[in-house]
Amino acid sequence: MAAPRVFVTRQIPCIGLERLSEHCDVEVWPGELPPDRNTLLAKVPGAAGLLTLLSDRIDAEVFAAAGPQLKVVSNYAVGYNNIDTVEAQKRGVRVGNTPDVLTAATADMAVALLLAAARHLREGVDDVREGRWQTWKPLGYLGVELSDRTIGIVGGGRIGAAVAQRLHGGWKMRVLYTARSDKRDLEQATGARRVSFEELLEESDFVSIHCDLNPETAGMFDAAALQRMKPGSVLVNTARGGVVDQDALLEALRNGPLLGAGLDVTDPEPLSPEHPLAQAANCVIAPHIGSATREAREAMARIAADNLLAGLFDQPLPAAVV
């Protein structure tokens, strides 16, 4: 019997590709950029499995182009808002993701952005690089400290809980969180309290976003939400750019109430360097590198490969979305 054909939309760590090659006829897209839409649609017909990235939109058109032999889509990410899971279910295509193994890396990144925004790191580094820094300034670059302040975690899931543990354990921060359900482990580990979104915004000195992007969370941080935040507070987003209204964020950074923001994600990605948010001195923007550690990316490659193989050979997916 011929090995099943799989299309992998980008080079991933070789540990994952080697596993696939043992059992499948693997085509890997060689480009650094994602295959464009027409290329993706041309590559999927005949594939039994797709290994995709968050930058690949896997919608009804792609499922239709792939045809009935498509059994599994394995996303090389924990978030799967790029995949139409309703359409996948309708067609009996299984979908996998890569939870847990990137939690620590992404939580570390959220803390890094929080510190960077709280301490005007971008402004200071830019001044040094561009020759504007002239002397030690008693009143320059004044930020805020973390100790004994309140962190508001929006989406107290895996990564949200890991951020709460870091900030509570390291800086004794009081933890508030929102989620759709109570998180007893998080409450026990950090003394966290589940509150309404409005209370979280009003009470937190730092707010860190960790919910998935879904119809309820899309645009959740609009002008009204941002204007509810405490004067001098800091917003961090390592979830998805679509959760935040970027025009409203710019206004909150320019005219208050925010001291600063740290973003690992934007909409679109990349954001143009000319975009006013990219230019704002009190906004630190990273190129979506939350999971970018060797450890996390290799573990993601293993899980993504195992999900794909399980789907191809009718086994339960180690990490199934549907």
Measured CA angle at 52 (ends 45, 27), to 5 deg: 55
In the bound state with ligand NAP, the residue whose beta carbon lies nearer, of 35 and 156, is 156
Measured CA angle at 124 (ends 122, 127), to 5 deg: 105
How far apart are alpha carbons 106 and 210 in whole angstroms? 10
Q: 96 has which bridge partners?
A: 74, 320
In the bound state with ligand NAP, the residue whose beta carbon lies nearer, of 6 and 54, is 54
312 near ligand NAP, judged by CB under 6 A: no
Determine the interface stretch with ligand NAP among 43-51, 65-73, 153-161, 308-316 (rule: CB under 6 A): 153-161
97 near ligand NAP, judged by CB under 6 A: no
Determine the interface stretch with ligand NAP among 17-25, 37-45, 60-68, 234-242 (rule: CB under 6 A): 234-242
212 near ligand NAP, judged by CB under 6 A: yes
Determine the interface stretch with ligand NAP among 7-15, 176-184, 252-260, 299-307 (rule: CB under 6 A): 176-184
Q: Are 50 and 312 in contact (CB under 8 A)?
A: no
Nearest Cα neighbor of 60 from 81, 36, 87 is: 87
187 near ligand NAP, judged by CB under 6 A: no
How far apart are alpha carbons 188 and 249 in whole angstroms? 33
Nearest Cα neighbor of 37 from 72, 11, 65 is: 65
Task: Select which of 87, 199, 269, 298 is catalytic.
Answer: 269
210 near ligand NAP, judged by CB under 6 A: yes
Q: Are 269 and 243 in contact (CB under 8 A)?
A: no
Q: Of residues 75, 190, 217, 307, which one binds ligand NAP by CB under 6 A?
A: 217
Site string for ligand NAP, 263-292 (x = CB under 6 A): -xx----------------------x-xx-
Is 240 among the catalytic positions? yes
261 near ligand NAP, judged by CB under 6 A: no
79 near ligand NAP, judged by CB under 6 A: yes
How far apart are alpha carbons 22 and 16 in whole angstroms? 10
DSSP state of 242: G
**Hey, which residues are catalytic here?**
240, 269, 288
